[in-house]
Amino acid sequence: MTPTGVFMQDVHPEWLAALKDILPKIEEIENSLRGTPFNPAPENVLRALRYPLNQTRVVIFGQDPYPNREHAMGLAFSVPASIFPLPGTLQNIFRELHEDVGVRIPASGDLSPWTAQGVLLLNRILTTHTGTSASHANLGWEDVTNKIADVLGKRKVIPIFWGNYAKQLQKYFPPDLWIESVHPSPLSAHRGFFGSKPFSKTNQLLTEQSRQAIDWSLT
């Protein structure tokens, strides 16, 4: 099908081809949300898929978008550079980033430099009602992210699973590539996110694949 609506307008052609069977579902979800307040903005719902599929080396799976409209930008865990203070979840990610690979804690919460290196930042559920977390579970996004995970798993993209929602997608990836922990939210980070070393483990796996490591510095 030819993509219609706002959600798919900036999706890279490689992704449109890979997801052709699920595009009607995305259109159905978009139509069901018309006239309702949701995050992120419609043009950013599939922002994670603007970069070429063939360049994707790593995927970080989260839960769903930030409920605060100013925070949600279509990339899992990322917020616009203008946001301060950073959400607690992102502060925890940056703390682990510093302790794991020694980079300076970034001042900006915009994770776009990672996406430019082939790191896909994807939530399990791609929208949420503004002001309410996890409100769009079972809206149909699970089918979409299942398909995305299936495509990535067949390409042996390295998956990072943060939280139980993310771990639902483990079946699509070879177990020897899994990098996993609890969600980095302030409610759970102390139960296994801190000290999990996801960034150095990812680069180790990339090196073993004879692929270039990720520069996690965000400078």
Of residues 10, 64, 150, 215, which has the active-site annotation?
64
- Tokens found for residue 162: 């943060």
Burial of 133 from C-beta contacts in 10 A (0-12 / 13-18 / 19+): middle
3-state secondary structure the chain: CCCCCCCCCCCCHHHHHHCCCCHHHHHHHHHHHCCCCEECCHHHCCHHHCCCHHHCCEEEEECCCCCCCCCCCCCCCCCCCCCCCCCHHHHHHHHHHHHHHCCCCCCCCCCHHHHCCCEEEEECCCCEECCCCCCCCCCCHHHHHHHHHHHHHHCCCEEEEECHHHHCCHHHCCHHHCEEECCCCCCCHHHCCCCCCHHHHHHHHHHHCCCCCCCCCCC
Does the annotation mark 64 as catalytic? yes
Instruction: Catalogue the active-site residues.
Output: 64
